Structure 1
């Protein structure tokens, strides 16, 4: 008797019913879809606008405004990412909604530069539109996936009150408008944590989600490469700026190495609370990288000066400290044995350079920061090699027995 051969999930990608992707036996090792990669491009624009805004206002107020605008932009990315991780169908309806979200985020990015002036209303409306499109995605999925109702209920708990606050802020001026923004964002950020029990029935994908966050990290790292390239593109190859550019690239390489070789992605399989640590831990990671990019650009410009300016020093060194602290917290959450006094010392050194770096020449400060990162990466490589050697020895001993 001839067996019927069933071709799995091939042909018509125009219309697909949403399903919980994590429960599918066909998933296995899952990668980002083309629409997800296309979607990430709008965040290149958003992050570039945020960085440009900080570059022109490197002060305490500038840092606070940068952080205040960075959070909703990052949160918008996570909302789409977690939806797609669970329910991405990549069909016509899904693509149209994602493309609509991209357009809303473009308008969000376009209003970043003047969000605390005459662009506040545009920023508010663009952000509300972004969140509303995510709501439409969840409304669609609950028609086909019953467990998705928990996701929709949790989303509505933050969407309704925060949207009211965002829209109400249009009617007010400073500082009431920004107080309403802060309250709305606090509601949005806390709701998934407080409603964790509603998420237990819809786990995240163990390979897809880390890849998505890795791609976001790579995008923001790219901003530092752009900073190095753009500041040397004018043909200014004087010795000190050139050395600063080389140091800047080397710092970016070390940060890349630390993330993609030593960050514990296994944390997301430990439960929903660990997923929250992984998710929220990436906010200071990507924010720190954006700060380093701004600091690198100013360091190259100011390399011929005796010392780095206060803002450039804190962007560069403070960004590295924020980045490394966040990686450490995620790794320790995955396994307590990952705690390292070396990481604590690295964060302390970066902060010390930020505080007292005004006593050092600009290149000396940047060089010390780079040296610390090179030592950190080197020790981690040696630790990995030692651990692998020990495991091989244990396996050989067990085999002999």
Structure 2
């Protein structure tokens, strides 16, 4: 417990949010905790993921498959990348003063503005037009400009990290100029997509190259691990929301039935299994020991947030099928099985880049896990690849229950397989990592 004489000083820091110098946090600080402000900030991003998932489901239901997927991938990357940039700065310089708080709130406003632009962006892609509609561009600029200001303040107030802080400010500024110019240029859709991919790749590569040339900002690896874990956890809530919406629509149409109970049980199992699987990866433990692995580990998370939200989109598509019809069971099975399979594969990728290890037991476990997902797609195809699902037909309702149950079974197999077999390999990989760390030099640590 704190000494009574120290409490007034601590309370003064917690309650008086005056301007404080951005001198950098201690990258070696143990048990660094996530702040309430960071959690508040995350909520706006979950709203963005949910909105993108709903639009994905709605456009899939209308048969606009490829444009819907392209829109979802674009929005998922843009939102995740902006979140990652803020998290990176907050881990290094989050001092909870009035400037940091106001900059964070402004970024949250930018996320909300971007969300309002999502329907127009999806519609633009559906008509082969530029998805950088005004609300998207304005929202993204509002999200990123406060980050530029914060990095410039850090460069001015933290001479030890001036070069890397200026580099981040320049990278974000150049990227924003690129997005704005692309938005106002009236280019055909193919060149627009190509330039988007080039801009995104450059914006992701530049920070890594700069850090290795100029030194690392004083971010905290353990704090970064917890931030990513919590956003993953909150995003899983989209799966639960999709499940309750689907069952709510079904029970409204037909009342409670064994199928409704089976569907909600399976949806909750999927959410729980994703949570269980993700937290089998010892991210914080390894990153605190080998912090330079954070770069590849964090990039592996970018598709994870989108794939988890896409599972929720598959469940939302189920809701649309129940309420309005027009969706085949085959389409539902694909919308559920593919994002769950991607989620499992990405978690395996995160594990692999974190521990820098792989063995054939992972491949065999992955194949066993994917088997029920493939079976779910086969059932959906046999029920009719194009015919809309008809819940008045008992066989269609049963087939829907079987599809969702098979998808849930795949998620459960992944958990059981790791508990029975995979944990041993994780322990062995950790022992190798710990052994390598004993001979590590100072270059293995972030240069604060």
- Asked if the contact 2:310–2:339 (Cα under 8 Å) also holds between the matched residues in 1, the reply is yes
> Is 1:296 the counterpart of 2:315 in the alignment?
yes
User: Offset of 1:208 from its aligned partner?
Assistant: 1.2
**TM-score, with length taken from structure 1:** 0.85
Number of corresponding residues: 383
User: Offset of 1:293 from its aligned partner?
Assistant: 0.8
Return the alpha-carbon distance in structure 2 between the equivalents of residues 292 and 363 of structure 1. 16
Residue 108 of structure 2 corresponds to which residue in structure 1?
A: 102
- Asked if the contact 1:97–1:133 (Cα under 8 Å) also holds between the matched residues in 2, the reply is yes
Tell me the secondary structure at the aligned position of residue 55 of structure 1.
helix
Tell me the secondary structure at the aligned position of residue 108 of structure 1.
helix
2:367 to 335, 345, 348: 345
* CA-to-aligned-CA distance 1:101-120 (integer Å, 9 cap, x gap): 11111111111121253970
2:278 to 243, 250, 259: 259
Residue 362 of structure 1 corresponds to which residue in structure 2?
A: 400
- Asked if the contact 2:118–2:136 (Cα under 8 Å) also holds between the matched residues in 1, the reply is yes
Residue 395 of structure 1 corresponds to which residue in structure 2?
A: none
- Asked if the contact 2:369–2:410 (Cα under 8 Å) also holds between the matched residues in 1, the reply is no
* CA-to-aligned-CA distance 1:106-155 (integer Å, 9 cap, x gap): 11111112125397012112212211110011111122212332332332
Q: 1:141 to 1:122 in 2, by over 3 A?
A: same
**TM-score, with length taken from structure 2:** 0.76
Tell me the secondary structure at the aligned position of residue 30 of structure 1.
coil
1:279 to 282, 294, 298: 298
Residue 397 of structure 1 corresponds to which residue in structure 2?
A: none
Q: 1:155 to 1:354 in 2, by over 3 A?
A: farther
> Is 1:93 the counterpart of 2:108 in the alignment?
no
- Asked if the contact 1:107–1:123 (Cα under 8 Å) also holds between the matched residues in 2, the reply is yes
Return the alpha-carbon distance in structure 1 between the equivalents of residues 246 and 377 of structure 2. 25
User: Offset of 1:298 from its aligned partner?
Assistant: 2.8
Return the alpha-carbon distance in structure 2 between the equivalents of residues 386 and 348 of structure 1. 21
> Is 1:30 the counterpart of 2:32 in the alignment?
yes
Correspondence list, 1:192-341, <5 A: 192-198=207-213, 200-234=215-249, 235-236=251-252, 237-269=256-288, 274-299=293-318, 302=321, 309-337=329-357, 339=359, 340-341=362-363
Gaps of 5+ in 1: 391-401
- Asked if the contact 1:221–1:252 (Cα under 8 Å) also holds between the matched residues in 2, the reply is yes
Gaps of 5+ in 2: 125-130, 384-398, 429-448
Return the alpha-carbon distance in structure 2 between the equivalents of residues 233 and 300 of structure 1. 8
* CA-to-aligned-CA distance 1:315-345 (integer Å, 9 cap, x gap): 3111111111111112122334554224432
Residue 418 of structure 2 corresponds to which residue in structure 1?
A: 380
Residue 151 of structure 1 corresponds to which residue in structure 2?
A: 164
Q: 1:119 to 1:182 in 2, by over 3 A?
A: closer
Between 140-149 and 230-239, report the one with greater CA deviation.
Answer: 230-239
* CA-to-aligned-CA distance 1:16-68 (integer Å, 9 cap, x gap): 212221347xx431111111111111112211210111011111221111101
* CA-to-aligned-CA distance 1:164-198 (integer Å, 9 cap, x gap): 22111232234254444333222212212333404
- Asked if the contact 1:288–1:319 (Cα under 8 Å) also holds between the matched residues in 2, the reply is yes
Q: 1:136 to 1:378 in 2, by over 3 A?
A: same
Tell me the secondary structure at the aligned position of residue 22 of structure 1.
coil
Between 189-198 and 70-79, report the one with greater CA deviation.
Answer: 189-198
Q: 1:260 to 1:326 in 2, by over 3 A?
A: same
Tell me the secondary structure at the aligned position of residue 269 of structure 2.
helix
> Is 1:14 the counterpart of 2:33 in the alignment?
no
